[in-house]
Structure 1
Amino acid sequence: MQRMIEKAGVLVEALPYIQKFRGETVVVKFGGSIMESEIGYRNILKDVAFMECVGLRPVLVHGGGKAVSKQMREAHIQSDFVHGLRVTDEQSIGIVESVLNGNVNPHLVDILLENGGKARGIHGEDIIQVKKHSGIDPETGAAIDWGYVGKVTRVDIEPITAFLNADIIPVITPLGRGEDGHLYNINADEVANAVAQALKARKLVFLSDVPGLLKDPEDTSSLITSLRTGEVEDLIERGIIAGGMLPKIKGAVEALKAGVTKVHLIDSAQPHSLLLELFTDTGVGTEIVH
């Protein structure tokens, strides 16, 4: 009986959040090591199905880099990364497209359907326009050529909103179409950010391999639970926001400026971290607000 009472207490605690966010759009991005765990990403997708069931409008953007790397190894193609981005040539982009659109995306949709949610895949290149990603090597000053790697310039939200209005969860691949008509690979964080901005989403959630923003990367107890945009530059100067977290936080600031109300960084490996962050008083990750 006590356990049943505790379960009821959890539901009561979640009630005001469910009422507050009903009808609101939440963009969820997940990828990284969790996609190597069938149990792990099945739990995440069950949480996403729950969100839709209680009236939220989730939009899922997924990665799949490890699956792409595996397929490339099997094809005896070397994977090269420069500043965290995969160098993508003509042969590689074919594998990226095949894995993301033909394998990972349909599998995630099937799992959502198994959990009672309505879901449909969207190939990113059907809704996302990009320009070729470019950069300068800070050490040599030379231009960097990532090949067919794109930077988002526009998101056509009509297919996404059509699905949402029909209570269907859109599941989007991180691919885009260039001005040259060619297919481009895109960083999934950037896609989620661009989609959230275009939709004016209430929330943008990044599920990653860390609990959130840590003052000390080696100490999970140093989690920064709440961060305001005005604090970001100081944390960058102090080196607390660095490495792979730097573009994620900068992207969060851009999203907030564009109208997203709140951005969350949470650990995908913690069971039900998505629901705990959205529907409890304390949350479990880092929330970023204006």
Structure 2
Amino acid sequence: MKREDVLMEALPYIQKFYGKTIVIKLGGHAMVDQNILNTVIRDAVLLRYVGMKVVLVHGGGPEITAKMQAMGKEPRFVGGLRITDAETLEIAQMVLVGKINAGIVALIANCGTRAVGISGNDGNLLIARKMEPQRVKVGETVEEVDLGMVGEIEEVDPELLNGLLTQNYIPVVAPIALDRQGRNLNINADTAAAEIAIALKAFKLINLTDVDGVMNAERTMVYHRLSLAEAEAMIGEGIIAGGMIPKLDGCMKAVRSGVTSAHVVNGNKEHNLLLELFTDLGVGTMLTL
């Protein structure tokens, strides 16, 4: 395809998305590979310059694990779920807010636009409650496990984000929340992004991850378009399984709650964010009603 054809294919999408809010969850390998992160941030800044209101929500699990090990504290997982005690939460805040969040804000500034780094406890953005013990499979048995200082979101107050977007900032959100007693809780970044998209009445939610999208059982093709009913049927049939289910849970809730579309996209490939948004076929999976 000629360069001018690429631009003309993008034009109607740029027109359609102008002024709309898009929430992008940064995750996967992009959070530990600086080159990948640089590319994703440049793409996000381009979206801002073509008129979209962009909110970034980031995770940081691998970096939290690495920092804990460097500080002599071995991470504890049960059934694949991290146990977050008080010391682990302190390290998570240090990594998420002090390092990753600040680093993303600096990258955005280097691209020539303005960003503000916040966490969910700023402006009461995310109010949560401590998560109830979870039933997880440990070996051959199912156990109830207390995950510690991990939260479930009860309420989102988008006032701070709306104010920043009105002033043409890109908000960068770390997934830390407060409970109603003022205590910090760690929040799953996929969940935080979905709840923020709902509260902002966003046009799109984009989940950037390490896989190409929702794939068939043989993992040989990507489903580029799925309705909620189709996705739910594929979960029931076991075609969608494992780690893809929690990623889709937030996407499906967002779409049910009024977000026009949610996308699962491989963030490790250069400019996939732009290709998903501005081309007819896209490169990941788009979920709609």
| Range of TM-score over shorter length | over 0.9
Shift of 1:7: 2.3
Structure 1 letter corresponding to 2:150: V
Structure 1 letter corresponding to 2:250: G
Contact 2:206 2:263 in 1 (8 A): yes
Shift of 1:81: 2.4
Contact 1:28 1:205 in 2 (8 A): yes
Match among 118, 121, 124 for residue 122 of structure 1: 118
Instruction: Give the match for residue 37 of structure 2.
Output: 41
The reply on whether 1:112 has 2:108 as its aligned counterpart is yes
Instruction: Give the match for residue 207 of structure 2.
Output: 206
Name the CA distance, whole Å, in 2 between partners of 1:136 and 1:43: 37
Contact 2:28 2:210 in 1 (8 A): yes
Q: What secondary structure does 2:121 align onto?
A: helix
Report the count of equivalent residues. 284
User: Which stretches in structure 1 are left out of the alignment for 5+ residues?
Assistant: none
Contact 2:27 2:58 in 1 (8 A): yes
Instruction: Give the match for residue 22 of structure 2.
Output: 26
Name the CA distance, whole Å, in 2 between partners of 1:236 and 1:83: 20
The reply on whether 1:61 has 2:54 as its aligned counterpart is no
TM-score normalised by L of structure 2:
0.94
Name the CA distance, whole Å, in 2 between partners of 1:235 and 1:23: 34
Structure 2 letter corresponding to 1:254: K
Name the CA distance, whole Å, in 2 between partners of 1:41 and 1:136: 33
Q: Structure 1, residues 37-76: CA drift from partner, whole Å, max 9, x if none?
A: 1110100000000000000001000011111111100111
Shift of 1:205: 0.3
Shift of 1:80: 1.8
Name the CA distance, whole Å, in 2 between partners of 1:197 and 1:245: 20
Structure 2 letter corresponding to 1:68: I
Once the two structures are superposed, the pairs formed by residues 180-259 of structure 1 within 5 Å of their partners are 180-216=181-217, 219=219, 221-259=220-258
Structure 1 letter corresponding to 2:109: L
Shift of 1:83: 4.4
The reply on whether 1:270 has 2:266 as its aligned counterpart is no
Instruction: Give the match for residue 175 of structure 2.
Output: 174
Instruction: Give the match for residue 86 of structure 2.
Output: 90
Name the CA distance, whole Å, in 1 between partners of 2:212 and 2:94: 31
Structure 1 residues 136, 37: closer, same or farther in 2, change over 3 A? closer
Name the CA distance, whole Å, in 2 between partners of 1:130 and 1:288: 27
Instruction: Give the match for residue 73 of structure 2.
Output: 77
Identical amino acids, percent of aligned pairs = 40
Contact 1:85 1:187 in 2 (8 A): no
Shift of 1:161: 0.5
Shift of 1:6: 2.6
Q: What secondary structure does 2:146 align onto?
A: strand
Shift of 1:265: 0.5
Contact 1:105 1:171 in 2 (8 A): yes
User: Which stretches in structure 2 are left out of the alignment for 5+ residues?
Assistant: none
Name the CA distance, whole Å, in 2 between partners of 1:238 and 1:61: 31
Shift of 1:138: 5.0
The reply on whether 1:133 has 2:134 as its aligned counterpart is no
Q: What secondary structure does 1:274 align onto?
A: helix
Q: Structure 1, residues 167-206: CA drift from partner, whole Å, max 9, x if none?
A: 1100000110112321111110000001001111000000
Match among 99, 102, 123 for residue 98 of structure 2: 102
Name the CA distance, whole Å, in 2 between partners of 1:146 and 1:206: 24
TM-score normalised by L of structure 1:
0.94
Structure 1 residues 86, 246: closer, same or farther in 2, change over 3 A? same
Name the CA distance, whole Å, in 1 between partners of 2:134 and 2:6: 51
Structure 2 letter corresponding to 1:94: E
CA RMSD between the two structures: 1.5
Instruction: Give the match for residue 158 of structure 1.
Output: 159
128-137 vs 275-284, which moves further: 128-137
Name the CA distance, whole Å, in 1 between partners of 2:130 and 2:202: 26
80-89 vs 26-35, which moves further: 80-89
